[in-house]
Structures are given as C-alpha cells and as structure tokens.
C-alpha cells in the first residue's frame, strides 16, 4: 500500500499504512452495556453505543489493510491494589470491585471488563490492560508502538473526553500523530463530545486531527 492522506480537520493528515496503528480504547461491556461501570455512575449507555457501528467499519478496514490493531481495557486487579483510593470512592460512592450483573465492576477477568463481541480482538492484536485513563500510563503501549515502528494512531473508543482524549494527549507528547474519527468515539454527554473534539483540532491540530469513519475507511482502502 502507498502512503496517502486522511481527510481531516483542521487539514489532511498524510500517513503511511506501514507506520499507522488503530487503537481501540476501552470498548468494554463496563462502558457500553447496561449494568456496567458507566451505568453505575448514573450514565445512559445509549449515548456511547452509537460509536459501535462506525468502529466496526474502521476495525474491518484496518484488518483488511493489514495495519496494526491494538485494543485497550480499563480495569483493575481483583484485589484492587492497583486502584488509587481516590478512584475507588469518587463521588463518595464505591463502584469499582462491587458485584454487578456482569461480575465485579471494572475488575480484570470479569464479564463486564471484557471487550464487546462486536469489536472483539482477533489473534495477533495486542490488548493493553490499563489501570488509568491514559493508555500509556503504567502500560507497555509505548514499547509496542515503538517496536512496530508506529508513528500515526487512529484513535477510537470511549469515552471521548476521558480515556480517548487522555490517550491522545499522552500520545501527542510522545511524538505520535493522532487522528480521531468523530463518529467512532462516544461520550455520555453530548456537549463534552462536541467540545472534546474541538479541543483536539484547535490551534492548528494542537493535539491531533478529527475525521470520520468514512474518510478513514476510504483512505485505508485507497
Ligand atoms: C471512564 C473511559 N470514562 N474509558 N473511562 O471512566 O473513558
């Protein structure tokens, strides 16, 4: 495949498929299905489920193009020793580690912690388990990307203003160029979705580029 460019805002982003990876952030039951962490916090998961279909299209295009595909999962050890006390009791309530309809909330190995079937990893796709919001924090993501000679990241997943943009900021500081397809990311808060995306591309792509599933699929197929 030849180097080409993604149609994007604030301007097109040239990329080389050989050095481009898709990073699918936290498309876990705990965030996008009823009964998980997102809903326990009082959110309506229907707001984030709209990202599933576009993510499926980009994931399929990435697999067909043969670019690296990486998945992340937010969650904690069963004994919660990797969960900061403040995170455990945010809002004065404890949800993480509590039993729920999909097992213990945000605990590794539980049903709710797993990636949704619609976007399930296939053999050879690294899955990065992260204890924090950013996918680089206390993980080997940077090592995986460096070893793969990756320079450009297509970042999809949930939630836009939390784990997606935290990861985009971390990646930007590490020298990666990030493009976020706006219909492939989801927030429980429509206004946060709008402004989080605007922040990425403001000031001449200060953190990265914003595009959409169709443009990513077209560019990967070109
Ligand atoms: C949150 C995430 N929202 N994956 N996590 O707590 O965005």
C-alpha 73 to ligand 1 mean position (Å): 10
- Selecting among 30, 129, 130, 184, the annotated active-site residue is 130
Catalytic status, residue 156: no
C-alpha 158 to ligand 1 mean position (Å): 6
Please identify, by atom number, the ligand 1 atom nearest to the C-alpha of residue 166.
Answer: 7
C-alpha 206 to ligand 1 mean position (Å): 22
Fold of 26-49+57-201+211-221: Rossmann fold (3.40.50)
Looking at every residue in the chain, the average pLDDT score rounds to 96
In angstroms, rounded to a whole number, what is the distance separating the alpha carbons of residues 35 and 13? Answer: 39
Predicted pLDDT of residue 3: 52
Please identify, by atom number, the ligand 1 atom nearest to the C-alpha of residue 164.
Answer: 7
> What tokens were used for 32?
């996008």
> What tokens were used for 22?
């898709």
C-alpha 1 to ligand 1 mean position (Å): 34
- Selecting among 156, 163, 178, 184, the annotated active-site residue is 163
Give the pLDDT of the chain (222 residues) as one tens digit per residue: 455 999 999 999 999 999 999 999 999 999 999 999 999 999 999 999 999 999 999 999 999 999 999 999 999 999 999 999 999 988 778 899 999 999 999 999 999 999 999 999 999 999 999 999 999 999 999 999 999 999 999 999 999 999 999 999 999 999 999 999 999 999 999 999 999 999 999 999 999 999 999 999 999 999
Length of the chain: 222
Predicted pLDDT of residue 2: 56
For the Cβ of 209 lying below 6 angstroms from any atom of ligand 1, the answer is no
Predicted pLDDT of residue 91: 72
Cis? peptide before 159, omega within 30° of 0: yes
Q: Which residues on adjacent β-strands are paired with residue 100? A: 103
Catalytic status, residue 111: no
3-37 residue pLDDT tens: 599 999 999 999 999 999 999 999 999 999 999 99
178-205 residue pLDDT tens: 999 999 999 999 999 999 999 999 999 9
Predicted pLDDT of residue 90: 81
For the Cβ of 159 lying below 6 angstroms from any atom of ligand 1, the answer is yes
Q: Where are the domains of the chain?
A: 26-49+57-201+211-221
- Selecting among 26, 114, 129, 212, the annotated active-site residue is 26
Predicted pLDDT of residue 210: 98
Catalytic status, residue 163: yes
């Amino acid at each position: 495949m030849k180097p080409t460019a993604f149609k994007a805002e604030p301007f097109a982003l040239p990329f080389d498929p050989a050095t481009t990876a898709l990073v699918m952030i936290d498309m876990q039951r705990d965030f996008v299905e009823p009964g998980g962490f997102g809903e326990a916090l009082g959110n309506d998961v229907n707001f984030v489920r709209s990202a599933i279909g576009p993510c499926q299209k980009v994931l399929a295009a990435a697999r067909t193009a043969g670019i690296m595909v990486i998945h992340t999962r937010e969650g904690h050890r069963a004994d919660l020793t990797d969960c900061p006390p403040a995170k455990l009791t945010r809002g004065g309530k404890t949800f993480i580690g509590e039993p729920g309809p999909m097992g213990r909330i945000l605990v590794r190995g539980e049903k709710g912690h797993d990636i949704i079937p619609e976007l399930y990893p296939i053999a050879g796709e690294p899955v990065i388990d992260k204890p924090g919001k950013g996918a680089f924090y206390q993980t080997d993501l940077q090592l995986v990307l460096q070893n793969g000679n990756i320079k450009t990241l297509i970042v999809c997943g949930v939630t836009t203003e939390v784990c997606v943009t935290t990861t985009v900021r971390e990646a930007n500081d590490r020298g990666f160029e990030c493009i976020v397809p706006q219909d492939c990311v989801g927030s429980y808060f429509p206004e946060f979705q709008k402004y989080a995306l605007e922040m990425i591309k403001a000031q001449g792509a200060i953190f990265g580029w914003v595009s959409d599933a169709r443009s990513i699929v077209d560019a990967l197929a070109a």
